Amino acid sequence: MVYHGLKGVTCVETAISRIDGEKGKLIYRGYNADQLALASTFEEIAYLILNGVFPNEDELQTFKEMLASFRVLPESAEKLIASLPSALDDMAALRTVVSSFGDITYRFRPTMAEAVRLIAVAPTIIAFRKRLMDGKEPVQPLSELGFVENYFYMLKGKRPTEAQMKALETYMILAMEHGMNASTFSARVTVSTESDLVSAVTSALGTMKGPLHGGAPSAVTGMLEDIGEKCRAESYLRAKLEKGERLMGFGHRVYKTHDPRAKALRIKAEEIAGDDRDIDLALHVENTAIRLLEEYKPGRKLYTNVEFYAAAVMKAIDFDASLFTPTFSAARMVGWCAHVLEQAGDNMIFRPSAKYIGEMVSQ
């Protein structure tokens, strides 16, 4: 039997995360991810995913100091970013610069310090490149700022408000890890050959670059911009459904009920909404779309997924659509590194079979 896309095939055992699509649960190391995202910091959950336990006060402080020490780009990386063609998209730039970190210190087996270095430096690469492309001077990280606050600061040149920071932090916590998705599988396959951590993460970044994996929030933004006004939502969405087209940000291959990540992000979206027209529109579009999906596709259980409110939150904090997938990747770096470390700890090379369907010329 051929399992196209390996759908439903279990290929590893993992203690990192679990997805229960029927109950709408995402579990990080035994904890509900949506609850963690609303009550914890990025650093706390990154430590949990990497190490399997919550840090105590001393461990958390040491982890923060490690992240801060690796956050500044080496001069060689700055020169590389400045030399990249302006036509190169942000994900290709991130992939290229991360690949340049694969010097002789990176080898099989990967270490925790190597993982923390890549997690720490990814936001700096994204922000440095973005500032250059916008014709602005790059902003160096501040050691006293946390992971998410620093990312915002390096991009914008100013500190976020508390509401902006927590909304972005919630999104990045929820984007950290999501089981055996395409990019995580790619990372594990690469390191299973006894390659290095940088090569594994570079594979993951190349996979995330594909629009079927990392590009969905941008498509949601396009849909919301096309709708523009609440009064146009129903007619726009009905027209899409009449043509048999997909509503971006609704439905998920795994979740058969509400995406728990979307529920947590909606809470944060409502907190920063105030008089925010974009958030108000998104809330209205969600309610209209769910009602129409039940009308047109009864029993299909199509609900809002994480990309819908990721787009709404990112737009509300004034992040360009070009930053959606890189930001997703900066957060998912935690999950990729955790999986690479886990794979290397009990390794067997991935070697699936292929069924030949071509002609036999020689007998």
Average pLDDT over residues 332-345: 97
Reported as a single tens digit per residue, the pLDDT across 77-102 is 999 999 999 999 999 999 999 999 97
Predicted model pTM: 0.90
Reported as a single tens digit per residue, the pLDDT across 184-212 is 999 999 999 999 999 999 999 999 998 77
Residue 104 has pLDDT above 80, yes or no: no
CATH 1.10.230.10 fits 216-316, yes or no: yes
Residue 5 has pLDDT above 80, yes or no: no
Q: Rounded CA gap, 148 and 166, in Å?
A: 9
Average pLDDT over residues 150-175: 93
Helices (H), 194-276: 197-208, 216-227, 233-242, 260-273
Q: What percent of the chain has pLDDT over 90?
A: 60
- pLDDT value at position 259? 79
- pLDDT value at position 215? 65
Q: In this structure, what is the dihedral angle of CA atoms 218, 304, 329, 162, given to the nearest 10 degrees?
A: 90
- pLDDT value at position 356? 87
Topology annotation, domain 4-211+322-345? Citrate Synthase; domain 1 (1.10.580)
Q: Which of 23-37, 125-139, 226-240, 293-307 has the lowest mean pLDDT?
A: 293-307
Residue 253 has pLDDT above 70, yes or no: no
Confidence band (pLDDT; 50, 70, 90) for 251?
Answer: confident
Reported as a single tens digit per residue, the pLDDT across 36-83 is 999 999 999 999 999 999 999 999 999 999 999 999 999 999 999 999
- Report the candidate in 137, 125, 124 with the shortest Cα–Cα distance to residue 68: 124
CATH 1.10.230.10 in the chain, residue ranges: 216-316
CATH 1.10.580.10 in the chain, residue ranges: 4-211+322-345
| Torsional class of 15: left (φ above 0), alpha (ψ -120 to 50), beta (otherwise) | alpha
Q: Which of 150-154, 222-226, 336-340 has the lowest mean pLDDT?
A: 222-226
Q: What percent of the chain has pLDDT over 70?
A: 95
The more confident residue out of 216 and 295 is 295
Most confident of 21-25, 271-275, 285-289: 285-289
Catalytic center residues? 252, 307
Torsion 331-42-128-62 (CA) sign: negative
